[in-house]
Structure 1
Amino acid sequence: MVVEVPRWTNAKMEISLGEGLNPIKQDVKKGKLRFVANCFPHHGYIWNYGAFPQTWENPDHLDPNTGCKGDNDPIDVLEIGSRVAKRGDVVQVKVLGTVALIDEGETDWKVISIDVNDPVADQLND
C-alpha cells in the first residue's frame, strides 16, 4: 500500500490521479480543504490509511454486493498495525478482510490489513 494519511493525522490526503507522477495532495471539496473528524479521545485517523496503487473501483460496474457503482478511485487500505507510518511510505501488508461502504451513492471498498513487519502480524489471519 501507499500511505496517504498517517495514523493520528486528520488532513484528508489522496493520490492525485489527474496530475503527472500522481502526487499525494490534500482533498478539496466545494473549494475547502478536507479533514476527518477526531474520534475522541484520539486525534485524526486511528490507523494508517492509503491505497493500493494501480487498482481502480470501476464507475461503470454495478457491484452486486452494494447495488452501486465504483467510486473511480484506487482501492482504499486501512493498516491497523502499531507503527505510525509517514505519508508516501510504501508498506507491504497482509490482508485481513474487506468492508464495502456506500459513500455518496458509490461503492467504496476498504481493505483491512496489517504491516507484514508488525509484531502481531503472524497472529492475525483473515
Structure 2
Amino acid sequence: MRTFRRIEYEVQANWKLIVLNYSECQHCPVIHPELARLSPYRSGQNDLAEGPILGGFMTITQGGSLTASGKACGAMIVGLPPEDHSRVYYYAIFPNMLLSLHPTPTTYFFIFFLPFS
C-alpha cells in the first residue's frame, strides 16, 4: 500500500466529538450534501457496537463511489462479496484511529489524531 496524500490539520475539539462526528451522518445532508447524494445518510448499520472497535457500513448509490467525482477510480477488489460492492465501512478503533474501507483498492483512509495539549 502506498500513501497518496497526507493531510494534517488541527481540530480544536475533544477527541470524543471527532469520533462522534465520524460515526454518524445525521449532519451529512447539511454539512456534506455531496456525500449525502452518494451515500444515503440513514443507510448506516452497525456491526460492531461494543468494545475498542465500533462501526459498520453505509450504502453507496448504485454505480457511485465516494470520490470527488462520484465515480470509481479503480476496479472492485477481487473476491469482494457482491453485497459489499455498494458499501463503505467506517470503524473507530480506540483510542485514536478512524478507518474507512471502500470497495475499490484506491480508497482507504486511515485517520489518526493526537492530543496537542
- TM-score (ref. length: structure 2): 0.31
**Could you say which structure has the higher helix fraction?**
2
**Could you say which structure has the higher strand fraction?**
1
- By relative contact order (CA 8 Å, sep 6+), the higher-ranking structure is 1
- TM-score (ref. length: structure 1): 0.30
